[in-house]
C-alpha cells in the first residue's frame, strides 16, 4: 500500500500547497469584494424609506388582486359544480 502512495505522487506537501492556494483565492476574493463595495453608490436613508414604502404598497395591491381572482375563481367553480351562486 505504501508503494501505491509513493507512485501516485501525492504527499502531505501537495495537500498543504493546495490549501494555501485555496486560502489565497478566498483572501483575494474577499479583498476584491470589499474594494467593490467601497465603489458602490448606496441610497440615502430617504431613498431607502421611499423604496421600502413603494414595495409594501405594491405587495398589498398584488395580494388584493390575487385574493380577488381567488374569490372569483371559487365562485365560478362553485357555480359549475353545484349550479348555485352565493356564499353559503
Confidence of residue 52 (pLDDT cuts 50, 70, 90): very high
Same domain, 34 and 51: no
- Residue 47 structural domain: 43-88
What is the pTM assigned to this prediction? 0.55
Regarding whether 88 and 49 lie in a shared domain, the answer is: yes
Query: Domain check: are 73 and 88 in the same one?
Result: yes
In terms of pLDDT, which residue wins out, 75 or 10? 75
Total domains in the fold of the chain: 2
Average confidence (pLDDT) over 71-88: 86
Residue 78 CB-density burial (10 A; 0-12 exposed, 13-18 middle, 19+ buried): middle
The reply to whether 14 and 31 lie within a common domain is: yes
pLDDT at 5: 47
36, 52: one domain:
no
- Cβ-Cβ contacts under 8 Å for 79 (sequence gap 6 or more): 85
38, 50: one domain = no
Residue 78 pLDDT: 92
State percent of the chain over pLDDT 70.
80
Q: How confident is the model at residue 20 (pLDDT cuts 50, 70, 90)?
A: confident
Amino acid at each position: 500500500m505504501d508503494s501505491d502512495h509513493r507512485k501516485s505522487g501525492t504527499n502531505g506537501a501537495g495537500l498543504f500547497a493546495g490549501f494555501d492556494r485555496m486560502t489565497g483565492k478566498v483572501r483575494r476574493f474577499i479583498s476584491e469584494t470589499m474594494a467593490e463595495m467601497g465603489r458602490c453608490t448606496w441610497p440615502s436613508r430617504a431613498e431607502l424609506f421611499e423604496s421600502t414604502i413603494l414595495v409594501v404598497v405594491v405587495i398589498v395591491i398584488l395580494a388584493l388582486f390575487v385574493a380577488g381572482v381567488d374569490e372569483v375563481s371559487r365562485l365560478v367553480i362553485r357555480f359549475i359544480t353545484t349550479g348555485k351562486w352565493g356564499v353559503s
